[in-house]
Amino acid sequence: MLWAALLPQNESPNSSQSTNEALHGAAPWALQFTPRVAVVEHASVVLEVSASTRLFGGRRRLIQRVAEEAPDLGMRPPSWAPTSLAALGLARVGTVNGLSRPLASVVDSLPLTALAGTAAHEGMLARLGCRTLADVRKLPRGGLSRRFGAAMLAALDQAYGLRPDEHPWVKLPEHFHARLELMSRVDVAAAMLFGARRLLLQLCGWLAARRSGVRAYTLGWCHDAMRSKTAGDGGSITVRTAETSRDVEHLSRLLAEHLAHVTLLAPVGELQLTADEVLSMEEKSAALIPDPGQDTESLNLVLERIAARLGPENVLRPKLAEDHRMEWMVSWQPADVRPPRRAAPAPNIPQPTFALPSPVRLAAKGNRPMYEGPLTLLSGPHRVEGGWWHRVANASGQAEEQTAVRDYYVALSEHAGVLWIYQTRLKGEQSAWFVQGIFA
């Protein structure tokens, strides 16, 4: 067995609320590693991960990951041992590694205060000459059971691995809602990110245990009790993601961009985080030989971070419309707007790489268009006709019909390259040539 024990960083008598917050935050987070997670003695979190080592890349990598993330949750670096109570005893004396020696020698060296069962009788055991658990273990079992009760003897057996580890396992909550009381009052919104990251780490652990991701989450804050009457009780901000994600780094960066636009009306003393939209994520198998140069951040994640910084109206993406007229074929919308499930079909005629802001009329010699010299028509005509239903108000306020009847050609210029040109075909108008795009 491989057990880890986590203790809160601050266990002083005046910090019971922060201790409970750390325990209730660390327990759901630990469920991403194993379903065998328990809160022991209302003061610590223990988890058994021996069945999960291969899933997380081996024992060393799993131990390293838990050790790196635990301090961000307000917990001490974990202690490891073959039994849960042995790991808990090591954590109380500040020893991390209980795997390099035999279990009996590890537990024998622990003081009486390492286990709650022996700590409750420390005075009596000390008068009997006991200083460590090895001394207690040497006493007659019958006398120990009669004088100190069967619970202390059961705890000793469980620490030494003579009795199975039995704990009430933590159940994964259906919904995520976490709160955190800040160590000091915060006056600037950007400073809330330090505490919010702890809540985001809890959220990502909860999402990993559910094999899910989040599309929207809300960070709320409560103002200090000494606030002015006009400040209100607090505020909140909802962050939406372009893709379902449980990457704590990405969610933190995105939240930081949104908090940069928030102005606090009063000092903040408490944070709350709620998962609003939770969706299942498709688990993808890792490659046998992963590409070290592979970029794991998609274009959508980059765009939403830029949009959060510059404003959604300044980051646009094209939207294809069911219209063959080039002026109306594409519209632009904010990048954070979700694209439709079924996009408009692309036209089956050649399309230029670059479109001019407005068509430029070409000179013609006879019926041959000219652009820095005569043009050679490579393909065409591709006829486009439509727009009789489309009317747009002109400068005088009158509605003008946007009918277009054109024959498009792919043309070659010796100096300008390949061009996208068309010839007008409206009745009552003189035929004319225009260039509207350039092929790269």
pTM: 0.64
Is 206 in contact with 31 (CB distance < 8 Å)? Answer: yes
How far is it, in rounded angstroms, from Cα 298 to Cα 174? 29
pLDDT at residue 289 is higher than 60: no
pLDDT tens readout for residues 380-400: 788 887 766 777 777 777 777
Mean of pLDDT over the chain: 83
Whole-number Å distance between alpha carbons of 30 and 62: 12
At the topology level, CATH places domain 177-280 in: Dna Ligase; domain 1 (3.30.1490)
Which pLDDT tens digit goes with each residue over 226-259?
766 777 788 899 999 988 999 999 999 999 999 9
Mean pLDDT value across residues 133-144: 90
- The Cα–Cα gap between 40 and 45 comes to 6
As annotated, the residues of the chain forming the CATH 3.30.1490.100 domain(s) are 177-280
Cα–Cα distance between 412 and 418 in angstroms, integer?
5
